[in-house]
Amino acid sequence: MEEIKNFRQTRSEGQMQSLVLSLKVCPVCDSLTRAEAEHCGLCGWRGQFTTDVTQVSESLASLLEKCPELLQTLAPTCAPSFLTRLREVLTREIKLRKRLDLSA
């Protein structure tokens, strides 16, 4: 469960939504399947799949509890933007620069 909390903290809300929307749940075997797949990869079901966001989220949470290393595969962390990296560099440079002693 801790991994899922970390997952939600390190990924953007948009990434979470797109991940959940790109999956569906098989009603026969309750496995997760890509939304564009025509049949279940586990049991071969070819019919109506569950696309309810709550149920897909619960199935995804259950899967990530069993196999937390899937986090990086399903939704890799985003690289920081150029502005974020620039801000970090400038902040680091300012902190490293020696302060002037103006007491004379």
Task: Tell me whether residue 87 is in a domain.
Answer: no
Contact of 33 with 23, CB cutoff 8 Å? yes
Instruction: Provide the residue range defining the domain that includes 66.
Output: 2-77
DSSP secondary structure code for residue 50 in this structure: B
> What are 25's strand-pairing partners?
32, 50
What confidence score (pLDDT) does residue 49 get? 94
pLDDT in tens, 12-34: 677 777 888 889 999 999 899 99
Average pLDDT, the chain: 79
User: Which amino acid type is present at position 95?
Assistant: K
Task: Tell me whether residue 90 is in a domain.
Answer: no
pLDDT in tens, 40-52: 989 999 999 999 9
The rounded distance, in Å, linking the Cα atoms of 55 and 32 is 10
Task: Tell me whether residue 95 is in a domain.
Answer: no
> What are 50's strand-pairing partners?
25
Return the higher-pLDDT residue of 8 and 56.
56
Return the higher-pLDDT residue of 55 and 77.
55
What confidence score (pLDDT) does residue 104 get? 63
Task: Tell me whether residue 53 is in a domain.
Answer: yes
Domain count within the chain:
1
Contact of 25 with 56, CB cutoff 8 Å? yes
